[in-house]
Structure 1
Amino acid sequence: MTSEQGGTTTSAVEAREWLTGAAAPGRRHLLLAAGCQPLETAFTAVQWAGLAWVAQGVLDGARPSWQGSGILFGGGLLAAAAAWSTARFQAVGRQRIAHAIRRRLVAGLLPAGQRHAEPDPATAALATVELTDEIADFHAQTLPQRVSAPVSMALILVITAVVQWPAAVILLLASLLIPLNMRLVGLFAKEGADARTAASTRLAAIVLDSFRGMPTLRNIGALGRRRTELVRVAGDLDATTIAVVRRASLSGAVMDVVITFSIAANATYVGLALLGYVRIGAAPGMTMFRGLLALLICPMYFQPIRAAAAAFHSKERALSAVPAISGLLVGLETPSGRGERVPPPGEPAEVALDNVCFRFPAADESTLHGVNVTVHAGTWTVVVGPSGAGKTTFLSLIAGMRPPSHGTVRWLTPTGASTPWLGGCTWIGQQTVLLPGSIGDNIRIGRPDASRSNVEQAVAAAGLAEVVAQLPQGLDTLLGEGGSGLSTGEARRIAIARAFLSDAGLWVLDEPTAHLDADTEVQIIVALRNATRGRTVIVATHSPVLARSADLLLGLADGTVHTVREASRV
């Protein structure tokens, strides 16, 4: 059996192995929790023994037993302490498991992860926020229970056998019905968990796509259709969630029938034995103490089994989450780990596309087909073409954001060749994201360990020095909420400074001068020219001014790329 999520196929065996390995960061704390659970069982049994002692004394008309009361309250306090310790260790173990998975996901999703393909944003968001918790919850719930359940059940069974062995026999007979019910629970849970994960992924994808494409949806009058689609997909998620709850309730009801029958059988036996209607020769004489203690600890015998039944549902949810998470982690291998060599910082790369085709999974036709292009190192290449022709897709293949459907894309340098990988080149898009913080902090996103002198050098290369000098606190001027604002052109210069600071030898630019007035556009082109001396630059644009500055001008139409002209630099 295989399950497909996030563009990868994971077998059931691989999913279980991955799920087991994910517990490692929190295993020590979860084992400590497992050690506390039998202690809680033992102290609770002591507490109920104290209660039965007190009840026996009241029935006999004796004065209240301080010993029995002390055992009752002392056992209760110790049981509460053990329960608190169990919960505490479980919480820490769960937190460590979730933190370790999220850290690996973030490392893979950020460009520093050197992935060879861009992950689906909806799957990435769902995996990081929700599915990681599914796996951590599963281990926190099941690992301590799996280790401690046999000990706790054996302890209750031994105590019951010592007090009244016929009651222990009834517990054992009821236990024979449990494995069948557990199997039914697992079968019910699997299908529902897969359907819910798929529905969650669809809803996340549509919501994310709606936010990203809101201006386009509004311009073409498609907001109503998108709203209807959102309502439909949200309804699907509600239906699958309710189905999971219904299955859990049904399997829980079957378990409750078994447990209720066992408790009722024991209660009947104890009651008839106390009244003298039932007497088993080899069994110890029935007293209020023995009968009450047997009845009080009887439900405790089934408590681990109930927890195991609930764990079946969490296990299937966790297994359904594994393909999405492991699929995102598949691309974490670095190019050097694949036997490839990567361009050293600042070394311009030649880019070669050989018979490249690309088709989106849901598309009927290829966006690009039969593309053969060579971009020489240290040159400026501009790609022009009508909107929707595939310019951004072409750039994303060069930058390593997507793998080609057919053919190869390579970065070539005197030191070797490599497959494009995220983080190996600089990407500047149409919009520059400014995070809350200072200008210097925003520029350091390109290289967090950069010194102040490095940042100042990047500012000068981006033509931002005069702007920074006029700000009240220079590089320390805050941006975002409560801070100063920048114009679109100034924000683009920050993007250029970030790119300069990263010291990549290949720059890929998607409409870097879009939505700028003529004067600002010329200034940005000059800044780009200064910042990219000696680098390989590939730009997609509609700007005639930017197109005239190209060493190589490429045209893209009908999925093919052709050379428009070659010219010397302006």
Structure 2
Amino acid sequence: MAHPAQMSSPNNSTTTQPTSVRKIPLDDARDRTFQFMSFLLVLLKTLALSFICVVIGHSLGDFFSSTRVPASFPWIPLFCWTVIAAGAEGLRLNLEHISARLSQWRYQDRLLAHVFRRGPAQLAKERRGALISLLSQGTTRIAEYRQTYLGHAIGGIFSPVVVLIVMACYADPVTAAWLCVTVPVLPLLLGSFSHVTRKVSTRSRQARARLSARYLDALRGLENLTITGAAPRVSQELAELGEANRREIMRVLAANQLILFIIDAGFYLAFISTSTALALWRVGRGELDVGDGLAICLLSILLLAPMSEIGGFFYVGMAGRAQQRAFRGFLGTSIPPGTTSSSPYPDQVMRHGSSHCVGEKDAPELQITDLRFRYPSASLPVLDQVNITFERGKFYGIAGRSGSGKTTLLRLLSGVLTPEHGTLKINGHPCGCVDLREASAVVNQFTWLFSGTIRENLLLAHPAATEEEMWVALKKARLDHEVQLFPQGLDTRIGEGGAGLSGGQAQRLSFARALLSGRRLLILDEPTAHIDRVSEGFLLEGLRNLGSDYTIIMSTHRENSFHYVDSLIDISELGVKK
């Protein structure tokens, strides 16, 4: 059972946020390359569209000036610039899609790596629903913002420079100079709208995060909610959170539409009217021909490209920036001492045999020296000045009254908890929490099996395992004959939590999965507490038959289990009784 200090509270924040979120870099060299390419492709498309406007403007000018269709229309230049514009846009969209997908995978890898480094005890402080939301929707929003929006938006802000250069070279430098005065207003508007709508967007994100976290938490505890009769209350709470989320979304949409209406009705109209009036005035005075005037009118439309990014900022930009803060906030949380590892994924370290504490095929020796542990909410330590040596290849039983610290000791030995004081050594090497997790396979009193086949549940411990290895693990767990009697054998489907299997079969399947992991330190917390005597005998006999290939540490209340162990340690007395 989890200690009260480890239980998550409904009032917890979405993720643990440090007081000040340090600036954690999000992009690597590949991301920056994709962003720069997107930026360049936007400018290339703008250049092509600018020349299309010039070609069309001059051609129409020739038509109006001569009052007859020109002998030759510049179809080839128009076609070439159109192909360039379409190609640049298509290539940009494709690159952004690929980059966003790769970036999302990398963001998820970084989050999972930090999850492994923090360990189960630290993660108990987080709301599982909020963390899952950050790993899924959150990383999607960040990837969309940084890879599909950021480079495009920066390119859109700089695109008026390209348009003005083309206008100055191929239409009228005087008009281009006048328009240069108004162009800087566009980035300023983007910044001001970001500041004005930040609070509205933040409230919407927080409401959406609360709903997502509470919904996922309710799904995880659906069975318990139904049994305890709390389902209607939680359903009503979810309905209220959903309504609050809807209202906040409507506020964001209302602010967005109001600002876009002001821009469309005011700024667009004023800007285009000013540039058109300036072009007509210059044409009327004979300072420009009709073709140049028409080209200026068409080019002025391209100068409004940055304004189109304002709408995208509401839906992509603000959501992405908000998720960035949550992402950096989670990665900025502290890691307990002794939990660092050379690999972000402990399972990968063990499968490749790169742990410096224990070999892949050896039963380890585990030594505890001056161990002390106290829960944050407790005044007295649960364990103090504990000194135990678990010899390699031995089967140890941990006994003691309820609350004496049996589960706490096993959590320390498996790397779930971090000791307040003392050292733990495997084969003489001091080891931290990650090293202990790399070396140990744990079977708890409440078995967790996933909905799927027996084969899929076994492969969770070792995805590359062969069918022969799976049958060997089942045989050691004394479950092979029963699985062979199932019509589909290893492909027999079971429900979540082992539905479809007896309690003893589910526990032995969990034991077989631990053996299949290849780890030689087995830690079992009351594995026979909720199974019948026959299944208990099968499980204990299977443990006994493992011989010296494994170091086994098992806590138990049942006295008949003591007959199977090599040494029995009373946690209350911390002395070897057998």
Q: TM-score range by the shorter chain?
A: 0.7 to 0.9
Change beyond 3 A, Cα 1:259–1:384: farther
Change beyond 3 A, Cα 1:174–1:272: same
Change beyond 3 A, Cα 1:515–1:310: same
Pick from 374, 378, 382 the counterpart of residue 357 of structure 1. Answer: 374
Q: What is the CA deviation profile of residues 467-503 of structure 1, one whole-angstrom value per residue up to 9, with x for unaligned ones? A: 34445676x545459xx96444233222212212324
Offset, 1:117: 4.8
CA contact (8 A) 1:182 1:309 kept: no
Gaps of at least 5 residues in structure 2 are 1-12, 345-354
Match of 2:232 in 1: 224
Pick from 306, 309, 319 the counterpart of residue 307 of structure 1. Answer: 309
CA contact (8 A) 1:53 1:68 kept: no
Which AA in structure 2 matches 1:490?
A: Q
Counterpart Cα distance in 2 of 1:408 and 1:208: 37
Match of 1:131 in 2: 138
1:9 counterpart SS class = coil
Offset, 1:212: 2.7
Match of 1:558 in 2: none
- 2:16 paired with 1:7: yes
Match of 1:362 in 2: none
Match of 2:449 in 1: 433
Match of 1:29 in 2: 34
Q: What is the CA deviation profile of residues 400-423 of structure 1, one whole-angstrom value per residue up to 9, with x for unaligned ones? A: 33546xx24753334222222344
CA contact (8 A) 2:15 2:326 kept: no
Pick from 84, 89, 92 the counterpart of residue 86 of structure 1. Answer: 92
Match of 1:557 in 2: none
Counterpart Cα distance in 1 of 2:417 and 2:255: 40
123-132 vs 179-188, which moves further: 179-188
Match of 1:321 in 2: 326
Counterpart Cα distance in 1 of 2:34 and 2:198: 28
Offset, 1:358: 2.0
Pick from 31, 44, 47 the counterpart of residue 49 of structure 2. Answer: 44
When normalised by structure 1's length, the TM-score is 0.78
CA contact (8 A) 2:62 2:70 kept: yes
CA contact (8 A) 2:525 2:554 kept: yes
Pick from 416, 419, 422 the counterpart of residue 432 of structure 2. Answer: 419
- 2:172 paired with 1:172: no
Pick from 520, 524, 527 the counterpart of residue 512 of structure 1. Answer: 527
CA contact (8 A) 1:376 1:536 kept: no
Q: How does 1:366-515 map to 2 (within 5 A)?
A: 366=378, 369-372=381-384, 373-374=386-387, 376-377=389-390, 378=394, 379-382=396-399, 385=402, 395-403=410-418, 407-408=420-421, 410-421=423-434, 422-429=437-444, 430-434=446-450, 436-437=452-453, 439=455, 442-451=457-466, 454-471=469-486, 477-480=491-494, 486-515=501-530
Offset, 1:219: 3.1
CA contact (8 A) 1:123 1:324 kept: no
Counterpart Cα distance in 2 of 1:72 and 1:101: 43
128-137 vs 507-516, which moves further: 507-516
2:524 counterpart SS class = strand
Q: What is the CA deviation profile of residues 490-521 of structure 1, one whole-angstrom value per residue up to 9, with x for unaligned ones? A: 33222212212324343333442354333223
Which AA in structure 1 matches 2:49?
A: T
Counterpart Cα distance in 2 of 1:131 and 1:383: 45
2:543 counterpart SS class = helix
Offset, 1:426: 1.3
CA contact (8 A) 2:494 2:501 kept: no
Offset, 1:157: 0.5
Offset, 1:84: 0.8
Counterpart Cα distance in 2 of 1:83 and 1:330: 44
CA contact (8 A) 1:391 1:540 kept: yes
Gaps of at least 5 residues in structure 1 are 360-364, 555-560
When normalised by structure 2's length, the TM-score is 0.77
Counterpart Cα distance in 2 of 1:193 and 1:24: 30
Q: What is the CA deviation profile of residues 344-370 of structure 1, one whole-angstrom value per residue up to 9, with x for unaligned ones? A: 4431424568442224xxxxx549844
CA contact (8 A) 1:248 1:313 kept: no
Offset, 1:303: 0.9
Which AA in structure 2 matches 1:380?
A: G
Which AA in structure 2 matches 1:267?
A: T
1:509 counterpart SS class = strand
Offset, 1:75: 3.2
CA contact (8 A) 1:438 1:479 kept: yes
Match of 2:293 in 1: 291
Counterpart Cα distance in 1 of 2:168 and 2:241: 55
Change beyond 3 A, Cα 1:314–1:294: farther
Number of paired residues?
531
Change beyond 3 A, Cα 1:368–1:233: farther
2:318 counterpart SS class = helix
Which AA in structure 2 matches 1:67?
A: F
- 2:203 paired with 1:186: no
Pick from 97, 102, 107 the counterpart of residue 101 of structure 1. Answer: 107
Offset, 1:156: 0.4
Change beyond 3 A, Cα 1:459–1:325: same
CA contact (8 A) 1:400 1:420 kept: yes
Q: What is the CA deviation profile of residues 9-39 of structure 1, one whole-angstrom value per residue up to 9, with x for unaligned ones? A: 2745x33x513xx243333333333332222
Match of 1:122 in 2: 129
CA contact (8 A) 2:474 2:480 kept: yes
2:210 counterpart SS class = helix
Q: What is the CA deviation profile of residues 363-418 of structure 1, one whole-angstrom value per residue up to 9, with x for unaligned ones? A: xx5498443355541422146538xx9976765454333546xx247533342222
CA contact (8 A) 1:263 1:299 kept: yes
Counterpart Cα distance in 2 of 1:336 and 1:72: 56
CA contact (8 A) 2:97 2:148 kept: no
Match of 2:350 in 1: none
76-85 vs 117-126, which moves further: 117-126
Counterpart Cα distance in 2 of 1:547 and 1:240: 60
Match of 1:209 in 2: 217
CA contact (8 A) 1:137 1:314 kept: no
Offset, 1:134: 1.9
2:374 counterpart SS class = strand
Offset, 1:92: 1.5
CA contact (8 A) 1:50 1:70 kept: no
Offset, 1:158: 1.6
Which AA in structure 1 matches 2:514?
A: A
Which AA in structure 2 matches 1:411?
A: L
Change beyond 3 A, Cα 1:188–1:325: farther
Counterpart Cα distance in 2 of 1:434 and 1:91: 33
Change beyond 3 A, Cα 1:327–1:530: farther
Change beyond 3 A, Cα 1:434–1:183: closer
Offset, 1:108: 4.8
Change beyond 3 A, Cα 1:330–1:237: farther
Change beyond 3 A, Cα 1:319–1:562: same
